[in-house]
């Protein structure tokens, strides 16, 4: 779950920011994706196969915050960020919405 390393500072400050609301997400680590990609590219048994990669469990950000709270030993709150908070800076940067 290296994609969550950017959240380390806010988690230390007891918050996990997201726009995910209550959606469940299957977190997949980039190292795991790289391992599967390497095997798929080098092993002819995987030729022309479509591989679907997911994490071991679909978690809400509330559940993820609770799991993070066990590591620093203090509560971590899932701080929900509204869509406009994200869309405003994207418009200014001409980034696609997503």
Give residue-wise pLDDT tens across range 30-86.
888 999 999 999 999 988 888 888 888 899 999 999 998 887 678 999 988 876 665
What CATH code is assigned to 2-27+57-93?
Answer: 3.90.25.10
pTM of the model: 0.64
Q: Domain-by-domain residue ranges, the chain?
A: 2-27+57-93
Q: What is the predicted pLDDT for the residue at 96?
A: 46
Q: State the SS3 of the chain.
A: CHHHHHHHHHHHCCEEEECCCCCCEECCCHHHHHHHHHHHHHCHHHCCCCCCCCCCCEECHHHHHHHHHHCCCCCCEEEECCHHHHHHHHHHHCCCCC
């Amino acid at each position: 779950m290296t994609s969550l390393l950017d959240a380390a500072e806010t988690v230390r400050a007891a918050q996990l920011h997201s726009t995910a609301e209550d959606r469940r997400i299957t977190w997949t680590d980039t190292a795991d994706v790289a391992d599967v990609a390497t095997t798929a590219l080098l092993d002819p048994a995987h030729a022309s196969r479509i591989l679907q990669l997911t994490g071991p469990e679909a978690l809400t950000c509330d559940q993820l915050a609770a799991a993070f709270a066990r590591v620093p030993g203090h509560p971590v709150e899932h701080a929900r960020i509204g869509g406009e908070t994200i869309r405003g800076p994207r418009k200014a940067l001409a980034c696609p919405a997503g």
